[in-house]
Amino acid sequence: MGFFSKNLSKDTIAEDLVATFAVSRDSLLKGVTESVEDGSEISNEQDHEIMILALLANIHPYIITFGDDSNGKYIIAKFQDAVFNTYIFDKKEREDFKKKFNERCKEYYEAYRSDNEDVAIQIGQIFCTHFFGKKEDGSHTGMMFVVGAIFLKIQIEVKKTLDEILANFVIV
């Protein structure tokens, strides 16, 4: 991208999305860690649940914006590969994570139904169920609200940024 260029490469957008994911993951990790009552360490499985939520929070605005467009597919694929390769080094663990991510996406997308007025709460509930390994029983209501709110805030900001990029640049 040259000085005053109106072109922006898909690779640059994907790289920026990876950076946004890192901040999103850190925000969720901090919010969740501070909310765990017993002060215990976050397990690898719990960290994966946080990563899944951060991935989805960053990917969903791209899906909404690009739909089935090749630019969006390219950016998301490149982004996912970078995240998987950066955060999960073991090949078997990476494959297991991808499978779990796809399963969780189905659950989270169910909460996105157009008639659903409680998206944030349901996102938080799904997260808490998997994070704590048990059906949400009301013992983590605060975390449900915090996680849902952080999730939606990430999506809103990513969408705003993406809309601004598309208004000012041509993706090449």
pLDDT bracket for residue 1 (50, 70, 90): very low
Q: Which residue has the higher pLDDT, 65 or 3?
A: 65
CA dist 140 and 36 (Å) reads 9
The model carries a pTM of 0.89
Q: How many CB atoms lie within 10 A of CB 66?
A: 18
pLDDT at 38 over 80: no
CA dist 36 and 54 (Å) reads 18
Contact 72, 62 (CB under 8 A): yes
Q: Which residue has the higher pLDDT, 115 or 74?
A: 74
The residues spanned by each domain of the chain are: 7-33+43-163
Average pLDDT, the chain: 89
Q: Which residue has the higher pLDDT, 69 or 37?
A: 69
Please write the tens of the pLDDT for every residue from 76-91.
Answer: 999 999 999 999 989 9
Angle at 28 between CA 24 and CA 31, to 5 degrees: 140
